[in-house]
Amino acid sequence: MKAKMYIAKNGFAYRASEDGQSVQFLDTTMHAGWKRSDYMTGKVFKTGRPAQEVMDEEASRNGWQPWEEPEESAAPQSNAVQLAAILADRYKRSGGEMTAEGFKKAMGTGGHADSQGFIDFGCKGVSIRPLGEPETKYTWAKFIKFCKENGLIENPTAAAGTAPQNAPIASDAQSSPCLSSGADVPTEEKTPLNSHCKTGKSPTGHCGAAAYCNEPYECCAPCPNDCNSRCGWISAKEESTPCKPEPAPKPAAAATMAAPAVTPAAETSTTLESAADAAASTPKPSSPDVRTPLSAPASPAEAGAVTHSLSAAAPVSSEVQPLVSSAFDYTGLDRPTVDTLHWAEREICDARRDYVARLAQAVYIAHDALLPVANCDGQRLNNNQHSEKTFIQWCASVGLGKDTAYRLLQVAALLNGSTPEEQAVLEAASPSLLYAAAKPSAPAQLVQAVKEGDITTHKQYQDLLARLRDKEQELASVQQEAALDRKEQEDANAAALRYKAEADRRAQDQQRLEGRIKSLEAQAREAERNLAGAREALTAAKARGDRWKEKAEALEAQAAAPAIEAKVIDPEEVE
């Protein structure tokens, strides 16, 4: 039976892996291939249930729709192509020229790692190392050719739908798809079941942001009643609420929207990290010209206008409390007034969220303008020689403290390092959640969950962070115990080796002594044999001496006897 797949409102499709142990997601707008969803897979591990069952429950809870992968994209891409697609898509969003020099200048030096493998890129080109496959190195020109051959780059001059680097940022009337004359009205199969559209205006003026929002986010005003697929849908339980235009803001509410709430700098400083830690760990985007969906100035003149408008504001608070508070008593107010006040509360909340994103982008642009930036050849891309001290002094001049400025740089880095869909989710997040996710110490899996919209509140983030830290402490404790056990085992093995070495040494000594003893015994036996032979020789010599002595004595005795006269006897006389 074919596994069931779902698609969320943000365009991400989900499916269970073939082994049923993890959940994978696919960005249907980028076609970068299926990737492991760490957040969803974490739920599978925590609950111990099959991945398909966990995904079915998540789809039912979030209103995901059943989905089937199109035939043309069903063929899986290789890990190398998927890794190349990540880098190609990142460059498309920068709006640079699709040339080797354009890649070299815009991408700078960096890397990427995920379940498919690793990417390292620098001045000379790209190195792609898919898991389980050999490393391949490309020059930027060959990498562009590789992307074209695999359909990752369609337009040879610029990424489709990306404005040139020097083009001015379009106004809401130009950039919002809802304001175009041919709004895409979804077909019946695209329309969520038992849902209807809510009209109004999203906080950023872009319909894309409404795809991820809950109350009070709504789709753009010019959208038709049934909306297009990028506008916000509301659940079936609200179907009884008729679609009607939002009430016009009262003067007090309009005044509240004009200027976000101001928080004293002393209040902010108690909740921010030290500037030294923030400055050392704040990642800098690879190119100052990277455009994001934020309302960033398109030129230094516009940047000056933005910073001038922000100069009167004190540092933004790192924590925005819910505006709907029981401290205000609505008793005695008629229904239209209550509705208007609730609308004003939502507008203030939206303005605060938008204010943090815009402020972070403005601080990032100022930081980038004051500090020198070097390209791959070591040449400066601007002529400024200012230091961090100059930047801090400028921040103080516009009412921003040192800690707040670096926290905002972290938020800008988080936004600039995200995809457009993720940026829309982050823009809809509360300031406290943005600050928490932007911290350098934030766990990568929680940051990704925030980007994907799985974590929507700061309290939820803190709860998950606490659970994650408990798991990490538990893991650290287990690892420490395992390390102690391993140390004891290593000590025991080392002692055994020492005992064995001592035994071998003693055995060698014993063998040497035994050999010496055998040698001495052989020498003793040889000495005994030599002694016996000497004794025999001595006895023989003594016998010979005795014989010679006897002969000598006999000769001496004979010499001492009287002389015998010898006469010649005549034989005849004898007769």
pLDDT at residue number 356 = 83
pLDDT above 70: residue 276: no
pLDDT at residue number 340 = 81
pLDDT at residue number 563 = 63
pLDDT at residue number 105 = 72
Residue 209: pLDDT band by 50, 70, 90 thresholds? very low
**Extended beta strands in 175-264, E state:** 196-197, 233-234
Host H or E run for residue 36: strand 35-36
pLDDT at residue number 566 = 59
pLDDT at residue number 386 = 65
Q: What share of the chain is helix, strand, coil (3-state, %, to 5)?
A: 50, 10, 40
pLDDT above 60: residue 375: no
**Is the peptide bond preceding residue 571 cis, with omega within 30 degrees of 0?**
no
pLDDT at residue number 72 = 52
Query: In this predicted model, what pLDDT tens digit does every residue of 473-499 receive, in sequence order?
Result: 889 989 988 999 899 899 999 999 999
Average pLDDT over residues 428-451: 90
pLDDT at residue number 151 = 80
- Tell me which of 283 and 430 has the higher pLDDT: 430
Q: What is the DSSP string of 522-541?
A: HHHHHHHHHHHHHHHHHHHH
> Which range among 157-171, 186-200, 253-267, 397-411 has the greatest average pLDDT?
397-411
> Which range among 27-41, 291-305, 486-500 has the greatest average pLDDT?
486-500
pLDDT above 70: residue 272: no
Matching residue, tokens 């695209």: 190
Instruction: Give pairs for 307-312: CB < 8 Å, separation 24+.
Output: 307/362, 307/366, 307/398, 310/359, 310/362, 310/398, 310/399, 311/397, 311/398, 311/399, 312/399
pLDDT above 60: residue 286: no
Residue 501: pLDDT band by 50, 70, 90 thresholds? very high
pLDDT above 70: residue 143: yes
Average pLDDT over residues 490-519: 92
pLDDT at residue number 570 = 67
Residue 35: pLDDT band by 50, 70, 90 thresholds? confident
Q: Are 231 and 219 in contact (CB under 8 A)?
A: yes
342 dihedral zone (left: phi>0; alpha: psi -120 to 50; beta): alpha
Average pLDDT over residues 48-52: 87
pLDDT at residue number 30 = 60
Helix, strand, or coil here: 326? coil
What is the spatial distance between Cα 570 and Cα 198, in angstroms, rounded to a whole number? Answer: 187
pLDDT above 50: residue 261: no
pLDDT at residue number 239 = 35
| Domain-wise residue ranges, the chain | 5-69, 77-164, 171-245, 247-456
- Tell me which of 458 and 345 has the higher pLDDT: 458
- Cβ-proximal residues to 63 (8 Å cutoff; 6+ apart), any chain: 9, 192, 195, 233, 235
pLDDT at residue number 496 = 92
Average pLDDT over residues 210-225: 40
Q: Are 196 and 226 in contact (CB under 8 A)?
A: yes
Residue 406: pLDDT band by 50, 70, 90 thresholds? very high
pLDDT at residue number 204 = 39
- Tell me which of 241 and 412 has the higher pLDDT: 412
| Lowest mean pLDDT segment, chosen from 128-132, 228-232, 502-506 | 228-232
Residue 217: pLDDT band by 50, 70, 90 thresholds? very low
- Tell me which of 214 and 121 has the higher pLDDT: 121
pLDDT above 80: residue 457: yes
Residue 202: pLDDT band by 50, 70, 90 thresholds? very low
380 DSSP assignment: B
Q: How much of the chain exceeds pLDDT 70, in percent?
A: 60
| Lowest mean pLDDT segment, chosen from 11-20, 162-171, 346-355, 533-542 | 162-171
Average pLDDT over residues 112-131: 79
Query: In this predicted model, what pLDDT tens digit does every residue of 84-116 receive, in sequence order?
Result: 888 887 777 666 666 777 777 777 777 777 667
On average, the pLDDT of the chain sits at 68
